A and B are shown apart, each in its own frame.
Chain A
Amino acid sequence: MQTIVSISNLSKTYATGFRALNDVSLDIARGEILALLGPNGAGKTTLISIICGIVNASSGTVIVDGHNNVSDYRAARALIGLVPQELTLGAFDTVWNTLSFSRGLFGKKPNPAYLEQLLKDLSLWDKKDNLLMTLSGGMKRRVLIGKALSHQPSILFLDEPTAGVDVELRKDMWALVRRLRESGVTIILTTHYIEEAEEIADRVGVIHKGELLVVDDKLALMHKLGKRQLVIELEQAVDSIPATLSAWSLELSTDHMHLTYTYDPRNPEKGVANLLSAISDAGLLLKDVETSQSSLEDIFIDLVHAKS
Chain B
Amino acid sequence: MNIYAIRVIYKYEMLRAWKTILQSFASPVISTVLYFVVFGAAIGSRIEQVEGVSYGAFIVPGLIMLALLTHSIANASFGIFFPKFTGTIYELLSAPISFFEIMVGYVGAAATKSFIIGLIILGTAGFFVPLEIAHPVWMFVFLILTCISFSLFGFIIGLWAIDFEKLQLIPLLVITPLVFLGGSFYTIDMLPPAWQTVTLFNPVVYLISGFRWSFFEVSDVSVWISLGMVLTFLLVCLVTVWWMFKSGYRLKQ
Contact = CB atoms under 8 A, between A and B. Distances in A.
B23 interface: no
A99 to B, nearest CB: 11
A92 B18 CA distance: 13
B43 interface: no
Given A14-B253, A82-B94, A106 B87 contact: no
Contacts of A100: 8
Contacts of A89: 86, 88
Interface residues of A, number: 34
Nearest to B20: A92
B96 interface: yes
Contacts of A147: 91
Contacts of A108: 4
A15 B247 CA distance: 13
A107 B86 contact: no
B4 A107 contact: yes
Given A14-B253, A88-B86, A90-B86, A109 B4 contact: yes
A74 B96 contact: yes
A101 B90 CA distance: 13
A157 B145 CA distance: 42
Given A55-B252, A100-B8, A105 B88 contact: no
Contacts of B19: 92
B4 A54 contact: no
Nearest to A86: B87
Interface string A252-278: 000000000000000000000000000
A80 B93 CA distance: 12
Contacts, number: 80
B8 A54 contact: no
Interface in A71-92: 73-78, 80, 82, 84, 86, 88-92
B22 interface: no
Interface in B89-116: 90-98
B216 interface: no
Interface string A99-119: 011111111110000000000
Contact of A84 (B90, B92, B97, B253): B90
B88 A54 contact: no
Contact of A101 (B8, B86, B93, B248): B8
A56 interface: yes
A131 to B, nearest CB: 11
Contact of B5 (A14, A86, A91, A107): A107
A77 B8 CA distance: 18
A37 interface: no
Contacts of A242: none
Contacts of B96: 73-78, 106-107
B92 to A, nearest CB: 7
Given A101-B8, A104-B4, A107-B5, A56 B94 contact: no
B7 interface: yes
A56 B253 CA distance: 6
A88 B252 contact: no
B12 interface: yes
A88 B83 CA distance: 9
A75 to B, nearest CB: 7
A52 interface: yes
Contacts of B9: 105
Contacts of B253: 14-15, 55-56
Interface in B11-61: 12, 19
Contact of A53 (B4, B7, B83, B94): B94
Contacts of B97: 74, 105, 107
Nearest to A75: B96
A88 B252 CA distance: 17
Nearest to B3: A107
19 contacts: A52-B94, A53-B94, A56-B253, A74-B2, A77-B94, A77-B96, A82-B94, A88-B87, A100-B8, A102-B91, A103-B4, A104-B5, A105-B8, A105-B9, A105-B92, A107-B2, A107-B4, A107-B96, A147-B91
Interface of B: 2-5, 7-9, 12, 19, 82-83, 86-88, 90-98, 248, 252-253
Interface of A: 14-15, 52-56, 73-78, 80, 82, 84, 86, 88-92, 97, 100-109, 147
Given A88-B88, A105-B5, 16 more contacts: A53-B94, A54-B252, A56-B248, A56-B253, A73-B96, A74-B2, A75-B96, A77-B96, A88-B87, A90-B82, A90-B88, A101-B8, A105-B2, A105-B9, A108-B4, A147-B91
User: What are the 4 A-B residue pairs with the smallest beta carbon separation, nearest first?
Assistant: A104-B8, A88-B87, A74-B96, A105-B95
